[in-house]
Structure 1
Amino acid sequence: MKHLAWAFATALAAAAAPAMADEALAKARNCMACHAMDKRLVGPSYKDVARKYAPDGGAAVDKLVQKVLKGGSGVWGVVPMPPNAGVNDAEARKLVAWILTLE
C-alpha cells in the first residue's frame, strides 16, 4: 500500500510541476508584483484574464503574448500594463499558456 501511495504522490507532483514552474517564471519575471492568481492587484487576476480570453483560443494567445511583451491599456481600466523587456517571446508564450489554464 505504501508503494501505491508513493506512486500516486509522485504522479501528482509530476502533473503539478509544469504549473508550478510557470508560476515560478511569473514570480521570477516580476509579474506577481501587479497580478495575483485570484484577486485584482494593480492589474487583473490571472483567473479573470483566463475567463475573459480562454474562449478565444489561439487568437488569445497571440494577443496576450503581445500585451506581455509590448504592454497595453484600456482593457482592465485606466492603469496601463508596461512592456516587459525582461521577458522573451518563448517565456511570454509559456506564461500566457499557463494563465489561460487557470479559469
Structure 2
Amino acid sequence: MKQLAFLVLSLFLISCGGNDGRQEGDRPEGIATQPAETDLQAQGRQLIANSDCVACHKDNERVIGPSYTEVAQKYPNNDSTIAYLAGKIIQGGSGVWGSVPMTAHPQHSQEEAEQMARYILSLNTSN
C-alpha cells in the first residue's frame, strides 16, 4: 500500500513539474515525433510536445501510460472518439489502461484536447 501511495505521489509530482530545461518548441526524444498530415494534427503534436504528457507517454513506447500508438489502435478515428479522448485529457481518469490514474489537464481547452486526440489517433497506421 505504501508503494502504491508513493507511486501516485511521484506521478503527481512529475506531472506537476515545471520547465525541465527545455525551450519552447524543443521535443523530448520519442515524444510526438511522427509526421502530422494536417494542420490540426500538427497543432496537436505541438501541444503534446510542450506539455507534461511527455512524462507518461511516448508515441511508440509504453512509459507509465500507454503509447499513443496503442491508444490509436484501440479506438476508431471518428468525432465521437475525439470528443471522448479530449474529455479524458482534460478530466483525467483511470481503469482503462491499468490502475495508475492519468492526471487531469484542465489547463487545456476542449479545442486543444481535441487537437491532441486527433494527433494521437493519426498514429494508427493500420487504417
Tell me by how many angstroms 1:59 deviates. Answer: 1.8
Residue matched to 1:58: 79
Q: Is the contact made by 1:50 and 1:101 (CA closer than 8 Å) also made in structure 2? A: yes
Residue 68 (structure 2) pairs with residue 46 (structure 1): yes
> What are the Cα deviations for residues 47-80 of structure 1, in whole angstroms up to 9, with x where unaligned?
000000125x222111111100101110000101
Instruction: For structure 2, list consecutive stretches of 5 or more residues without a partner in the other structure.
Output: 1-34
Q: Is the contact made by 2:36 and 2:42 (CA closer than 8 Å) also made in structure 1? A: no
In structure 2, relative to structure 1, the CA distance for the partners of 1:95 and 1:43 (3 Å cut) is: same
Instruction: For structure 1, list consecutive stretches of 5 or more residues without a partner in the other structure.
Output: 1-12
How many equivalent residue pairs?
A: 90
Residue matched to 2:93: 72
CA distance in 2, matches of 1:15, 1:32: 21
In structure 2, relative to structure 1, the CA distance for the partners of 1:20 and 1:58 (3 Å cut) is: closer
In structure 2, relative to structure 1, the CA distance for the partners of 1:93 and 1:17 (3 Å cut) is: closer
TM-score between both structures, scaled by the size of structure 1: 0.76
Identity score, percent: 36
Tell me by how many angstroms 1:30 deviates. Answer: 1.6
- Secondary structure of 1:72's counterpart equals coil
Paired AA for residue 37 in structure 1: D
Residue matched to 1:28: 50
In structure 2, relative to structure 1, the CA distance for the partners of 1:90 and 1:16 (3 Å cut) is: closer
Say which structure is richer in helix.
1
RMSD across aligned positions (CA): 2.3
Q: Is the contact made by 1:29 and 1:86 (CA closer than 8 Å) also made in structure 2? A: no
